Chain A
Amino acid sequence: MSFLETRLLGVRYGGIRAVRDIDIKVEEGETVALIGANGAGKSSMLNAIAGVLPHTGKIYFNNADLTNKPVFDRVKLGISMVPEGRGVFGRLTVEENLLMGAYLGNSQQDQDADLKQMYEFFPRLKERRGQTGGTLSGGEQQMLAIARALMSRPKLLLLDEPSMGLAPIMVEKIFEVIRGVSKTGVTILLVEQNARLALESSERAYVMESGELSITGESSELLHSPKIRSSYLGEGD
C-alpha cells in the first residue's frame, strides 16, 4: 500500500458531486501536484484528506485507515494542512501563530527547537516574530502558514493554492520554500492553479476535470504533453 492512498474518494455539496470516486496514490517523500481548472474539485479533495470535509470512499495513510477519523486524529498521525487563503490568525503574533501549530504537543524543548528551526528557515518571520499575523504581507502570511503547519512535524503536508493572491516574485519564493521543505523528506500533496509552477516543483501530477481525474503522469512529461500545454499552460498547439 502506498504512503497515502484514496479509494473511490467522493465529496458532495448537496446535490453536486465535487469529487467523483477518485483513486490517487502518493509515495513517501514524493511531491505530488493536483492541478486543474477552477471548480474541478482539487480543494475539496485536499480538504477531504485533511478531514475537514465529510467524504465517501476510503483514505489510507501510513497503513492506517483514516476514513472515520476526525481532523485532530489525522494531525496526530502526521498530516498537516495549509488551508486555502492561508488561515493565519490575524490577531496573534507570528510567534503565537507558530506555537499554535504545535498545539497537539511535543515537549517544550522540541517546540523551542522547532521554533528556532523555523526562524532559520524563514528569516523574514524571525524579523516579524512580535508582529500580529494580520499585519504581514500576503507572501509573509503564506510563509507563516507553511511554517506553522511544519510545527506539528508532519509526515505529509497538504498545500492548498499556495500561490493564491501573490505577486509573481513572491510566488517564486514560496515555491522555493516548498522545494526546500520537500528536501527535508516531508511528503507533499500540492493543489495549485498555477500548473507550470506546480509541475516544475513536483515529481508526479494528477489533473482533475469536473471532479474526475483526466490525466496522470510524471510532471516532467506532463510539462511537455500537448494537451496540458494547450489547456493548462496557456500555450497554443
Chain B
Amino acid sequence: MKYFMQDLWRRFTGNRRALFFGYVLLFVALALLPFLLSNTVGRTWVRILDFALIYAMLALGLNIVVGFAGLLDLGYIAFYAVGAYTWALLASPQFDLHLPFWAILPIGAGMAALFGVLLGAPTLRLRGDYLAIVTLGFGEIIRIFLNNLDHPVNVTNGPIGINKIDPISIGGADLTKTHELLGIVFSGVHIYYYVLLILLFLTIVICVRLEKSRIGRAWLAIREDELAAQAMGINTRNVKLLAFALGAMFGGVAGGLFASLQGFVSPESFGLLESIMVLCMVVLGGMGHVYGVLLGALLLTVLPEILRSTASPIQRTLFGEVYIDPEALRMLLFGLALILVMLVRPTGLWPAPKRRTVIDQDIVED
C-alpha cells in the first residue's frame, strides 16, 4: 500500500519537494503503524503485520524466479524451509548451538541459495509445466526429508519440529522481549516489525536494482524467447541458475526470520499449499512488478486475518449463530477473488507499467 500512496503522491504533485515530504510522511506513518495498531485493534495485529512483511519478502524472492526469469516454481517454500531449519539448527538447544543472528542470516541465505542451484541445475532444460512438476516434487522432497530426519540420526526432530529457537538478540538484548527506549515501551513484535521493515526495504531496493540491471535484462530476454536470448550471447545456463539462487536466498532469509519470530519450526509449515499461496501473491499482485507483488503479499496476508476476526461476529449478529466456519469461508472467498482477478485484471492487481506503445497497425503479416 505504501508504494501505491507514493505513486499517487507523485502523480498528483509531480514535484520533488512534495515527493520528499511524501517519503517523510510515509516513514513516519510506517514507524507509528504498530503503535496505532496495538492501541486500537490489539497487539495481535502487529504480529500479523510482522508475518505480512515476511511473506512480502518471500513473494519478492519468488518474483525473481517466476516474474523476472519466467521460470514457474511450485516448490519455492522449500527454500523458506531451508532458511528456517538452518536458523533452527544453528540457534536452538537442538545441538546446543547458539550462533548470533548476524552469522546465521548469511549462512541461511547461502544454504538456501545452494539449494536453489541444486534445484536449478538438473532442471535447466525444462520449461513451463515440466519445470513446474519437478519443482513441485522438489518442494515435497525437502518437506518429507525434514519430516523424517529424526532417525537414524536425529537432526530435525521429525514431525515434532524444533522448539525454543533463539530470537534475534543485539548486544545481549532479546528482541522478542519488551524493551524500553527513551521512555517508549517497545514490545517484541514491535521491534521485530522494525527489523523486518528494514530487511524488506533492502529486499525491495535489491529487486528494483536487479530488474534494471544487465542481469535483469537477460532474465527478461529468457522469459520472452530463450533461443533468441541465447543468440544474443546470453549465458542462459548461468543466468537461470542465478535467478534460482537469488530467489532462494530471499526465501532463506525470510525463513530464518520466521523461525526466530515464531521460536518454533515444524515440517507442516512448509507444505505445497504454502508454495501456492506465495505464488498467488506474485500472480495476484502483478507478476514481475516489484510493488505489485508487494501489494499482493500484504493483501493476501492481512485480508484473511480481517476475515477471520470478523466472520464469526458478523454471522452471530445477523443469524444468531455461526453457519460457516471462517476457515472454510476464507478458502471460498480466496478462490472467488482469484477467479475475479483473473477475469478482470489478468495481469494482476498492479501490473508493471505499460510501455510507451503506438499501435497504429495491427499485428499482421504484411
Contacts and interface: CB of A to CB of B under 8 A. Distances in A.
Contacts of A99: 217
B363 A166 contact: no
Q: Which of B224, B233, B359 has the most CB of A within 10 A?
A: B233
A103 interface: yes
Contacts of A88: 225, 228
Contacts of B220: 89, 91-92
A149 interface: yes
A167 B366 contact: yes
Nearest to B356: A130
Interface in B194-246: 214, 217-218, 220-221, 224-225, 227-228, 230-237
A80 B231 CA distance: 7
B364 interface: yes
A52 B228 CA distance: 10
B232 A93 contact: no
A39 interface: no
Interface magnitude class on chain B = 20 to 34
A173 B231 CA distance: 24
Interface in A169-225: 170
A24 interface: no
Contact of B364 (A89, A104, A137): A137
16 contacts: A51-B230, A71-B233, A72-B233, A72-B235, A87-B227, A88-B228, A89-B225, A91-B355, A92-B221, A93-B355, A99-B217, A135-B358, A135-B361, A136-B363, A139-B366, A152-B233
Interface of B: 214, 217-218, 220-221, 224-225, 227-228, 230-237, 355-359, 361, 363-366
Given A71-B231, A103-B221, 12 more contacts: A52-B231, A72-B235, A87-B231, A92-B221, A96-B217, A128-B358, A138-B365, A139-B366, A165-B365, A166-B366, A167-B365, A167-B366
Interface of A: 50-52, 70-72, 75-76, 80-83, 87-93, 96, 99-101, 103-104, 128, 130-132, 134-139, 148-149, 152, 165-167, 170
